[in-house]
Structure 1
Amino acid sequence: MKITEVRIHLMGEDRLKAFASVTFDDAFVVRNMKIVEGTNGVFLCMPSRKLPDGTHKDMVHPINQEFREYLEENILKAYEEELKNQSVGKTQEESSGYNKDAQ
């Protein structure tokens, strides 16, 4: 299974940094993966639902460590790229005097 697209939606909250949607083989998408800030840096959380007892259960998850690493590596790389693009965009706005909120 090959990742063919990763979309990142930055959140900018204290712990929740972004949501990710991943398309596999141009045929199957998994939405609502979370990129979360932990004590050892950012990590990936699978989409989950809250159970009546208050715990959470993953709706999807990798079956083996090799695929988990492949998934995390590609999603976190896309996240870092999105952060870089956002930073470049802000720098260009500041240097040009552009203020999107003023419109």
Structure 2
Amino acid sequence: MEITEVTVSIRDEDKLKAFVNVTFEDCFVVRGMKVIKGATGYFVSMPSRKMNDGTYRDIAHPITNEFREKVERAVLKQYKEEMRKEGLPPDPDLTSY
């Protein structure tokens, strides 16, 4: 499955760095992904819903590690590009994307 579009909306919060929508094969979109800066670096959080017991459950997520990594690479690469376009300083934790 090919990723055909990644749209990033930059946020300047402590951990939440961006909201992201990803389109697959020009026919399916997943909205509400997030770029998060955690203790060990950046990661992509899948869209989730708060359950009655207070926990969160993903609404959509990759099934294989390979596809998760593919999505994460594409999202973080586009996040880095959007930061550059907005004139924001590059983050050294994003050098590999």
TM-score (ref. length: structure 1):
0.83
2:39 match: 39
1:84 match: 84
How many percent of aligned residue pairs carry the same amino acid?
A: 52
Aligned residue-pair number = 88
Q: Distance in 1 between matches of 2:44 and 2:34?
A: 6
1:19 partnered with 2:47? no
2:95 match: none
Give the alignment of 1:2-17 within 5 angstroms.
2-17=2-17
Q: Distance in 1 between matches of 2:19 and 2:69?
A: 18
Q: Distance in 2 between matches of 1:50 and 1:31?
A: 16
TM-superposition CA deviations, 1:67-99 (whole Å, max 9, x none): 0010000000000000111117xxxxxxxxxxx
How far the C-alpha of 1:42 sits from its partner, in A, is 1.1
User: Which amino acid is the alignment partner of residue 44 of structure 2?
Assistant: L
Q: Distance in 1 between matches of 2:86 and 2:40?
A: 23
Deviation beyond 4 Å, 4+ runs, structure 1? none
User: Alignment RMSD, CA only?
Assistant: 0.9
TM-superposition CA deviations, 1:27-83 (whole Å, max 9, x none): 000000010110111110000000011000000010001100100000000000001
1:61 match: 61
2:52 match: 52
Q: Distance in 2 between matches of 1:34 and 1:75?
A: 9
User: Which amino acid is the alignment partner of residue 41 of structure 1?
Assistant: G
Q: Distance in 2 between matches of 1:87 and 1:55?
A: 37
Q: Distance in 1 between matches of 2:83 and 2:7?
A: 12
Say which one has the larger Rg.
Answer: 1
User: Which amino acid is the alignment partner of residue 11 of structure 2?
Assistant: M
User: Which amino acid is the alignment partner of residue 5 of structure 1?
Assistant: E
